[in-house]
């Protein structure tokens, strides 16, 4: 069945450091891919998405490129801020796959940024 595997946390970085959070997926169809962010005590917010191969999603300085050949959707940011501290979830939606009718989430990566 469809699944998402992402880098285990926690990840701790200094402010202005470069961030990469790895995400790979398995899907029987051709999924759309998402990154969601969860700030402490809050629900999930969509950070960015990509719906086809080689698409790049971007928002708030974060980027991720849909790589079909490596089944990956790694999240990157060039210079992180303390306010980026949160839990990040990689997810997929596969309308024609075995998990149609739901969004499948990875286990989440907790990111902490030191001032």
SS3 label, residue 50: strand
Which of residues 14, 20, 28, 51 is near another protein by CB under 8 A?
51
CA dist 67 and 108 (Å) reads: 20
Task: Give the dihedral sign, CA 81/83/88/90.
Answer: negative
CA dist 39 and 87 (Å) reads: 7
Nearest distance from C-beta of residue 59 to another protein, angstroms? 12
Which of residues 46, 78, 112, 114 is near another protein by CB under 8 A?
46
- 7 near another protein, rule: CB under 8 A: no
Which of residues 45, 79, 81, 112 is near another protein by CB under 8 A?
45
Nearest distance from C-beta of residue 45 to another protein, angstroms? 7
């Amino acid at each position: 069945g469809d699944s998402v595997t992402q880098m285990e946390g926690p990840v701790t970085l200094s402010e202005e450091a470069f961030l990469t959070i790895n995400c790979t997926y398995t899907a029987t169809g051709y999924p759309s891919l998402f990154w969601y962010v969860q700030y402490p005590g809050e629900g999930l917010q969509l950070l960015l998405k990509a719906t086809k191969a080689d698409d790049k999603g971007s928002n708030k300085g974060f980027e991720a490129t849909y790589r079909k050949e490596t089944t990956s959707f790694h999240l990157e940011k060039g210079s992180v801020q303390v306010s980026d501290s949160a839990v990040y979830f990689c997810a997929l939606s596969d309308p024609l796959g075995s998990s149609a009718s739901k969004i499948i989430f990875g286990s989440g990566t907790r990111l902490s940024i030191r001032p």
